[in-house]
A and B are shown apart, each in its own frame.
Chain A
Amino acid sequence: GAGVSQSPSNKVTEKGKDVELRCDPISGHTALYWYRQSLGQGLEFLIYFQGNSAPDKSGLPSDRFSAERTGGSVSTLTIQRTQQEDSAVYLCASRPAGRVDTQYFGPGTRLTVL
C-alpha cells in the first residue's frame, strides 16, 4: 500500500516568510510524528499526535513552530518568520495503534531558508 507522503519535497523561502509543510500518513495509522534532520543537530523529535489526545509538543524548538492534524489524518507543520537555522529536512512518520516496534517515515521535505 501507499507509504507516508510529504509535500513539497523541496521548499526554498526567504528569511522572515511563513512556510507550511504537509504530511499524509499511512491510512489507518493513529500516531503521527514530525522530526527534523539538520547537519548540526542530527535527527530531532519535534511533535507527536496520538489519536484524539493533545499533541506532545515538547520537541518544538520555538513558538514559531506549530502543527495541526486534521480529522486524525493529514498533518501540517507551520514555521512562522523562518530563520536560516530552520533550514533542514523535515521528516514525518506514522504508526498504527498498539505498535511500538517501528515508525514508518516519509521521504521528507528539504527546507532552505535564504
Chain B
Amino acid sequence: QKEVEQNSGPLSVPEGAIASLNCTYSDRGSQSFFWYRQYSGKSPELIMSIYSNGDKEDGRFTAQLNKASQYVSLLIRDSQPSDSATYLCALPGAGSYQLTFGKGTKLSVIP
C-alpha cells in the first residue's frame, strides 16, 4: 500500500518568512504529486502539482520534487497569515484515479 508521510506540525513561521513543508512517499513508481491546502472546515483546494524532478514555481509557491530520495516539498515565500491552513501532500493511489493523502501539516503564520 502506498504511504505518504508528513510532519503533522504545527509549523509556525513569522509573517514574511519562508515556510517549508515536506512530504515523503513509499512508492518509487509514483509519477504525479499534488499539494492541497485545506482551511479549517473547508474542503481541500489544489495549489500545486509537479511531475518532474526539480522545482516548479507558481507565484509565492515552489514545489520541489526529488524522486531518487522520494520526497516532495512545498515552499511558501513571503508567508501571509492567510496562508495559515493544513497542507496535504497527495499522489495517485493504488487505483488509476484515486489519491492517497498524507495526514497534512498544519501551518500557522504569525503576524
Q: Do A and B bind each other?
A: no
Residues of A within 8 A of B (CB): none
Residues of B within 8 A of A (CB): none
